Amino acid sequence: MRPAVKEVVLDRVLKRFGPIVALRNVSARFSAGEVSLVVGANGSGKSTLLGVLGTTLHPTSGEVTYPPLGPACAAVRGEIGWVSHDTLSYGDLSGQQNIEIAAELHGLEPGRAYERVKARFDLGPFATRPVRTNSRGQRQRVALARALVHEPSVVLLDEPTTGLDRSGVGRLVEVISECQRAGAVVVVIAHDPETFEALRPKRFTMDRGQLSEG
């Protein structure tokens, strides 16, 4: 069994884009088995925070660590499942093909991995069609299945309810609960925080690049 990330720790993280300060000395701890909900206005730094947590953005200063694996490295990246505003899917491939590619990249048997997530995310016949022909909600289901196919120990979700109907949102909340019970670190950015109240999340507020709990 591969080692799992037990927490993600940010220590005085600053992120600049030229003259723009997107994150201002952010210190926080996101723990395993806990859902952390991040809210805030557009442009407050939420997506930048997720990019830093997901290792696609490097802090200008400060440190991000993933005990027991340490700072960002290949092993850490293999433990991350991320759904962003972009579904990160190949539009000309089917949803199934996108998911199987992700599974293979993580060393899983593609067909078996797909069958596991097919029921979990209620993937219907649309998953056998090119992703570009799917509705926004269908693409979101594929994105969620692709991101979680390898059962990551760090789950990062940026507005994950986008395009989902009521049943899709309900299924999403169930899957997040499953990740929580499995001991994953779960961070959700949401404009609809009430959707996740049943999970009893720890709430954080982002305001002009500063993160505060509560």
Give the pLDDT of residue 1. 61
Per-domain boundaries in the chain: 1-79+152-214, 90-151
3 state SS of 32: coil
- Burial class (CB within 10 angstroms; exposed 0-12, middle 13-18, buried 19+) of 181: exposed
Return all residues near 164 (Cβ < 8 A) that are at least 6 apart: 137, 140, 141, 172
Structure tokens at 196: 């996740």
More confident residue, 84 or 127: 127
Give CA–CA dist 87/33, Å, rounded.
Answer: 25
CATH 1.10.1740.10 for the 1-79+152-214 domain, yes or no: no
Flag whether pLDDT at 2 surpasses 80. Answer: no
Give the pLDDT of residue 85. 78
Flag whether pLDDT at 3 surpasses 90. Answer: no
- Residue 57: phi and psi, rounded to 5, are -120, 135
pLDDT tens digits, one per residue of 90-145: 999 999 999 999 999 999 999 999 999 998 988 999 999 999 999 999 999 999 99
Average pLDDT over residues 77-83: 95
Candidates 32, 22, 6; CA nearest to 62 is: 22
